């Protein structure tokens, strides 16, 4: 159980991995198509300040939080997860 908890804490998303290593990958693979580069970039900036966002406030307690916009790219695992989750 302890190992599972550690794995969950350190687990990274595809978005996190591309944010960290995307530039290096593009430099090492100069033959990527424009489409591939656009998809990578969309995934990298998904749900970040770069796409803007809004403030959501809880009607019950008044707690506020920033919610960043998604890229809505059909190749983005984060966006597709939300689409499947919310139908």
pLDDT tens sequence across 62-80: 999 999 999 999 999 988 8
pLDDT of res. 13: 85
Closest CA to 18 of 52, 48, 41: 41
pLDDT of res. 53: 97
Q: What is the DSSP letter of 50?
A: G
> Where are any strands of DSSP class E within the chain?
53-57, 64-68
Cα-based distances in Å from 16 to 12, 55, 57, 63, 87: 6, 23, 26, 27, 24
Neighbours of 8 (CB within 10 A): 8
For 38, the domain range is: 2-86
Please give the backbone phi and psi of residue 55, each rounded to the nearest 5 degrees, phi first: -105, 130
Q: What's the structural domain count of the chain?
A: 1
pLDDT of res. 12: 81
Q: What predicted TM-score, i.e. pTM, was given to this entire model?
A: 0.74
pLDDT of res. 80: 85
Residues of the chain with confidence (pLDDT) below 50: none
């Amino acid at each position: 159980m302890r190992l599972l908890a550690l794995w969950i804490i350190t687990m990274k998303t595809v978005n996190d991995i591309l944010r960290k290593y995307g530039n290096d990958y593009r430099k090492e693979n100069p033959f990527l198509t424009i489409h591939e580069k656009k998809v990578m970039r969309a995934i990298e900036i998904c749900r970040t300040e770069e796409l803007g966002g809004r403030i959501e406030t809880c009607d019950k307690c008044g707690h506020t939080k920033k919610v960043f916009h998604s890229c809505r790219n059909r190749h983005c695992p984060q966006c597709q997860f939300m689409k499947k989750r919310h139908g």
